[in-house]
Structure 1
Amino acid sequence: MSDSTASGNPDSDTPDLPQMSASVADGPEAPADDLALERNYLAELEGKSWPVKLGGYIKLSGPGWLQSALTLGGGSLATGMYLGVLGGYGMLWLQPLAMILGIIMLSAIGYVTLTTGQRPFGLINRHVNPVLGWSWLIASLMANMVWALPQYALANGVMKQNLLPSLLGNESTLGSTEVMGLNAATVVIVAFILLIVVAITWSYGSGHWGVRVYEWMLKITVGLIVACFIGVVVRISLVGDGLPWGEIFAGFVPNLGTMFRPAAGFGPILEGLRNVDAEAATYWAAQIEQQQRDVLMGAFATAVGINMTFLLPYSMLGRGWRKEHRGLAIFDLSTGMFIPFLLATSCVVIASASQFHLKADTGASASPEVVNGLIEGRIKATGGEIADASTEERKLASMLVKRDVGGLSEALTPLLGRGTADIVFGFGVLAMALSTITLLMLVSGFVICELMNVPASGWPMRIGSLAACTGVLGPFIWGEAQAWLAVPTSVFGLVLLPIAYVTFLALMNSKAVLGDQRPTGGKRVLVNTLMLLSTVAALFGSGWAVVGKLGLPASIGLLVVVVILLIAGEVFRRTRSLTTDGDA
């Protein structure tokens, strides 16, 4: 490459972008010549106007798109769909707010990583607390293994219900056949998906041409996912009475009341039921609140998961990014991650709310047996007989049936046409699942390589990536709506998230880690205020989830254990530090 390409012309527009040859998995970092060219390019951009600077940043973006592909998975789809089912347009605010809080923390993680140029795991163990360091690493691996379950389950459901129902659906020959007690169609789907994702991920880890194909595939996939769901919303808005855009825009205003009471639309329905059966109305109100809480927590967790906090620093270091890339990193997260997420998830919520909210499910998932099963739960709690259940109660129960992705495409058939609805949602969901699975495998490879203290490449990376293959069990262990599996697994992820947030809050304030690059003055106050806001939100959500599932006494006991472990970890760190200093 010529010197003129590297240095650029200060009077021209955007300077030519140097051709980078390395990628996140090619080893510790890109070749020195390429990195020098990229740093020169970034230095030139600093003197350009904002439009030119943004254009240059777009060309260099990368890790943010990896984050986007990871977060736009089955969890975001499922929680978005159920937010629309339960809260209508009134819960549109949640996922963007959770993403903003997550980006604040990811930006801080990026700042620490790019300033030090070191892998965070060692920094945490040496300068914060080894218990937090090991908890972050193990929790990231656990999150990958658990979050892979709903991805396979969703892919299985969409292949059977939308893309190939005649070949793989429950009514097909393959779908009605069992092999060793397992559904034959499910076995075929899972094996096919596993083969694809392993081939893609292993190519990525090899540093061959598959790396470049993989990265571009993710960008294209994210773009197509967003386009699919925008197209659905545009189509809905052009049919019949269209969409209530005033109500939709109002839904982006945070309303914390939905965390503690049923969505407003259920008010008249519950009141009507209360006039018939007060005990039943109380029971169903509690059920709606519980489902809303689970979905709210799940949506918060899927916006930024703990495994994403692990992916970001290692993908940045793998590209050779350092201090000069800090501005680019924030831009990358704010555009490549936030904008696709905002568009895709908002469109899912809008489509789901327009078709499902406060509407009785008339599809196959709401058969009399399913509705009776829900009512039986109420009868066990309050007494009575199924035959005595009122029409109002049956209607409410049918509104709360756990829909699957196939149900959403079926509900949109009158608007899009059966074939188009199946293809649009089938492709969008499958693309979400496959891209997320490969990234869960990638993060698992990073974790295992960190455990082994070896570069994130070669066979250690490939074998480590197989830890996320636990997802193949998802379609076999979950008997309810495949999409709903993403909700409880996301709640599990939320419980783990504060580990990362507390850890990087401590790193951001560590003089030993950042030295004179630690924020000072008003900037430090602003950074800590924003990070504390994100951390408190994560701690609140995690605590709420733990207390809700374990009860207050067990939660207090768990907190005591955590505090004891942290104290022990700090004692160990200080003792080791004194020993090391003494040896020196």
Structure 2
Amino acid sequence: MSEETRYDVWASTRGRLGHHLTEMGPSWVAGAVAAGPATMASLLTAGATFGYDLLWVVILSAILGATAQYLAMRLGLLTESGIVSVVESALGGKWAWLLVADVVLAAGLAQLVIMKTVASVSETVTGIDGRLWAVAWAVVLAVGLAGRGYRVIEVGAKVLVSIVVVAFLASALIVPLDSGAAVSGLVPTIDGGVDKALVAAGILGGAVHITLVTMQSYTMRAREWTRENYGLATFDIGASMLVAFGVYSLAIFLVAAGVLHTSGVQAAELTAISASQALGPLVGANAEWLFLLGLWGASVSTLGGNTVVPPYLVADKLGWETDVSDYRYRSLLAAVALLSAGGVFVGGSFFPLLVLVLAFGLVGTPFALVLVLYLLNKPDVVSVQNSRAANVGGLVLVGVTSVLAASFVREQVASGVGDPTTLFVLVFTVVLGSPTVGLGVKFGQEEVFA
């Protein structure tokens, strides 16, 4: 097998199935972050508010999510370095810092809202003040991650994602499916104003998010994977993002569209309690509690996975080790965990906030994707450049995420730029949009005149 074929987009997942099943892991951490409360909120909001209209986005999110992870995996394995180090070496420190800032901002905002979710659900389930829960969870997170490191996240991700997938899949098998409406939902359209654009961006943002793209190289390094693990890494992505996350997304969406959708449902008014009715066909009166426990588990697993992302990139940029053997990384990890307790003071209901956070993260994602695609085609960065199929997949990924992100920003601006949130989103878009376009032009010029 030639070097080019071995690392091509259609690379075989060589090895025993049993070995792959027991050794997979890094993409499950990304899958746990993707299958978190924000994605759950986006899917439930989409089904409850718009019925089957956004089914095409749900299916596309799993496919593009796996594509994004595949490209990130290729860059990580072929360079055997963290993405920030690769960007700095190939493009310079300014580009590396811009990537770090993009990730820290997107992941940091998500961390606060996810902690608000965990604290709110904890308060609902136990009756204990959410502020106390926020402090407690922050301490547990700091001690667990700073003490045990990566492995505790991976084990938790596999267990919690599997449980949530089974629960919603079982419910989806019971809910009646309107086949005619579902077929019409496969046609790509976004024509419902700011709410529909926001929810569509939120769904895709759950699967194709800058935190997921940038964390891949570091989680693989934590497992000490190299080029020799290419087949295993490919299998890992297929099992976690394409299958587990795809089933999770589709099941939740179909349940919401089949049970919750009525003409009076408003996206901004949907709450965790009303969304819990989605599990009614499966467990009846216990639907609320089962849903809240599922949301609780998804939130905790996502909180852990999301916490490590900013420290990974900052430590890499500063030349530190990206594991708990380095006290500086360990201290940074603990600090991020403890600071997340402040999320409990974020105003508003956490359900619409979760959707907004994902949509916001999607705005910063095309920049990371263009970086990855550019680096994968640089012969001085990777010894085996991308195949045509991988490049086409990457360009489609950049195009779709850019269109949905632009649709979200356009609808936000149309609602009025006087709102602080809208103004912040607009500034964020301009700051990241310029270098994204510039790098795309640079790539095109180098390819044409090479």
What is the TM-score with the length of structure 1 in the denominator?
Answer: 0.66
For the aligned residue pairs, the C-alpha RMSD in angstroms reads: 3.1
**Closer/same/farther in 2, CA of residues 405 and 526 from structure 1, 3 Å limit:** same
- Find the partner of 2:287 among 416, 421, 446: 421
Name which one, 1 or 2, has greater alpha-carbon Rg: 1
Q: 2:253 aligns with which of 346, 349, 358?
A: 349
Q: Which secondary structure does the structure 2 equivalent of 1:417 belong to?
A: helix
- 1:316 maps to what in 2? 220
1:405 aligned to 2:344? Answer: no
* Bigger mean CA deviation after superposition, 315-324 or 69-78: 315-324
Q: 1:239-277, CA deviations, whole angstroms, 9 ceiling, x for partnerless residues?
A: xxx5025247536x63222x12x4xxxxxxxxxxxxxxx
The C-alpha deviation readout for 1:197-244, integer Å capped at 9, x for no partner, is: 222212232xxxxx545432221111111122223334xx2xxxx502
Aligned to 1:16: none
Give the letter aligned to residue 255 of structure 1.
Answer: V
Aligned residue type for 2:368:
A
Q: Alignment partner for residue 330 of structure 2, among 445, 458, 462?
A: 462
Contact 2:112 2:346 in 1 (8 A): no
Q: Name the counterpart of 1:192.
A: 136
Distance apart, 1:303 and its partner CA: 1.1
**In structure 1, distance between residues paired with 2:60 and 2:436:** 32
Structure 1 residues 74 and 444, CA gap change in structure 2 (3 angstroms): same
2:164 corresponds to which of 221, 225, 228? 225
Alpha-carbon shift at residue 98 of structure 1 (Å): 2.0
- Aligned counterparts of 1:510 and 1:415: Cα–Cα separation in 2: 52
The one-letter amino acid paired with 1:332 is: D
Counterpart residue number, 1:82 = 45
Between stretches 194-203 and 294-303, larger displacement belongs to 194-203
Partner of residue 329 from structure 1, selected from 233, 237, 247 = 233
Deviations 1:73-93 (A, max 9, x none): 111111011111122123223
Query: Residue 377 of structure 2 aligns with which residue?
Result: 509
- The equivalent of 2:177 in structure 1 is 244
Q: Give runs of aligned pairs for residues 287-326 of structure 1, distance below 5 A.
A: 289-326=193-230
Query: Residue type of the partner of 2:329?
Result: M
CA distance in 1, matches of 2:113, 2:427: 30
- Amino acid aligned to 1:467: V
Cα drift, residue 413 of structure 1: 5.0
Q: Matched residue pairs, number? A: 420
Q: Is the 8 A contact 2:34 2:207 kept in 1?
A: yes
AA paired with 2:31?
S
What is the rounded CA distance, in whole Å, between the counterparts of 1:120 and 1:400 in structure 2?
A: 36
- The corresponding residue for 1:254 is 186
Separation of aligned partners in 2, 1:230 and 1:557: 37
Question: Contact between 1:117 and 1:322, CA under 8 Å: does it hold in 2?
Answer: yes
Counterpart in the other structure of 1:9: none
**Structure 1 residues 330 and 463, CA, compared in 2 at 3 Å: closer, same or farther?**
same
What is the distance in 2 between the residues matched to 1:79 and 1:329? Answer: 28
Cα gap change, 1:449 to 1:155, in 2 (>3 Å)? same
Using the alignment, how far apart are the partners of 1:525 and 1:412 within structure 2?
A: 44
- The reply on whether 1:135 has 2:122 as its aligned counterpart is no
Please state if 1:65 is matched with 2:28.
yes
Q: Which moved more, 1:549-558 or 1:313-322?
A: 549-558
Alignment of 1:402-551 (within 5 A): 402-410=269-277, 412-413=279-280, 416-418=283-285, 420-458=286-324, 459-465=327-333, 466-467=335-336, 469-479=338-348, 481-515=349-383, 517-519=384-386, 524-550=387-413
* CA-to-aligned-CA distance 1:293-337 (integer Å, 9 cap, x gap): 100011111112101112100111222211111222121111122
In 1: Cα distance, 2:361 partner to 2:181 partner: 29
Contact 2:100 2:310 in 1 (8 A): no
| Maintained 8 Å contact 1:102/1:304 | yes
Closer/same/farther in 2, CA of residues 107 and 52 from structure 1, 3 Å limit: closer
**Residues 450, 357 of structure 1: CA spacing in aligned structure 2 closer, same or farther, 3 A cutoff?**
same
Deviation at 1:348, TM superposition (A): 1.7
1:56 aligns with 2:32: no
Contact persistence 2:42–2:202 (CA under 8 A): yes
1:74, 1:433 within 8 Å by CA — same for their partners in 2? yes
Q: 3-state SS of the aligned residue for 2:381?
A: helix
Q: Using the alignment, how far apart are the partners of 2:282 and 2:219 within structure 1?
A: 42
**In structure 2, C-alpha distance between the alignment counterparts of 1:348 and 1:309, rounded to whole Å:** 24
3-state SS of the aligned residue for 1:514?
A: coil
Deviates more, 1:470-479 or 1:500-509: 470-479
Distance 2:151 2:438 in 1: 45
CA distance in 1: counterparts of 2:431 and 2:309, whole angstroms: 31
Is this contact kept in 2: 1:71–1:341, CA < 8 A? yes
The TM-score normalised by the length of structure 2 is: 0.84
Contact 2:135 2:338 survives alignment (8 Å): no
The residue type paired with residue 385 of structure 2 is R
Deviation track 1:459-485 (CA, whole Å, cap 9, x = no partner) reads 222222233555433332222x32111
List alignment gaps of at least 5 residues for structure 1: 1-42, 44-48, 169-184, 206-210, 263-288, 361-397, 572-584
Trace 1:109-124 onto structure 2 (pairs within 5 A).
109-124=72-87
Alignment match, 1:26 = none
2:446 alignment partner in structure 1: none
Change over 3 Å in CA distance of 1:412–1:68 after alignment to 2: closer
